[in-house]
Amino acid sequence: MDGNLQQLLLYQQYDSKLLKLEKLSEKLRRDGELLLLRRSAAEEKLGLKVAALKNAQKELRLAELDLVELENSVKSLLRKRDWAKNFAQQVALDGEFAAAEARKIACEERVLAAVESCEVAAGEANSCKVELDSLDKTMELQRGLVVARCAELDGEKSAVKDMMLHLRNGIAKEWIGAYDCLRKSNLQPPYVARLDGFSCTGCHMRMASNHGGMGNSPRRRCEFCNRIIYEENDVDDVEEN
């Protein structure tokens, strides 16, 4: 049994714990960003719906003004027809009256359509407002929780880092140096992998031999992935995670 190997495996456990904590922090940060993005999208949508509502209200006002004008012109044509001097003039005024009446009916339909548009636009703007309010409430509720969780994670990370620093001091340079090198490479953890018979548990490739003759050494590597390898009976029980 080699004390360095044993300590390095322990160091590796803390290292992977640190990685998990960092991933949790990162996820927390990304979730917060997503929420902000959702909020600004909801705000933008609300702005568009409010603008649409204003347009619909403007169209309603214009249609109502036009209707008043058309109603007046229908009334004045009716009066004129009553005072017609002769039959020919009466027929001509009848024609004008029919045309004005048709325009009035068309305008009444325009007013109804505008009222409907206003209702639809108001409904849409309102549901956007509800969505935005609920997002604001969610964010407000989460803010405190996220701050607390971040602080908790920072505390855990710093405890793990302290432990790792402490462990490093007890590990020979040759071992910790080899570990650091592997960690800086593109390799995924573990950097120190147990041999399962002839197979590396890091890359799961089967080697021709387990390089048993080399004994315990940071130079004892998997020929496929270059991870430091060891055998189960090289160490006391080490929990793998």
Chain residues in the site for Zn ion (CB under 5 A)? 200, 202-203, 222, 224-225, 227
If we measure between CA atoms, which residue out of 177, 209, 179, 208 comes closest to residue 193? 179
> Which of residues 26 and 196 has its CB atom nearest to Zn ion in the complex?
196
What is the nearest approach in angstroms of Zn ion to the Cβ of residue 218? 15
The smaller minimum CB distance to Zn ion, of residues 202 and 218, is found at: 202
| Closest to Zn ion by CB, 220 or 227 | 227
Give the C-alpha separation, 83 to 88, whole Å.
13
CA-to-CA distance for 2 and 188, rounded, in angstroms?
Answer: 24
Q: Considering the complex, what minimum distance in angstroms separates the CB of residue 139 from Zn ion?
A: 46
Q: Which is nearer to Zn ion, 94 or 223 (CB)?
A: 223
Min dist. Cβ of residue 30 to Zn ion (A):
32
CB of 223 to Zn ion, least distance (A): 8
C-alpha span between 54 and 117 (Å, rounded): 11
Of 118 and 222, which CB lies nearer to Zn ion in the complex structure? Answer: 222
Shortest Å, Cβ 40 to Zn ion: 47
> Residue 123, CB half-sphere, CA atoms under 13 Å: how many?
6
CB of 140 to Zn ion, least distance (A): 50
Residue 5 or residue 225: which is nearer to Zn ion going by CB? 225
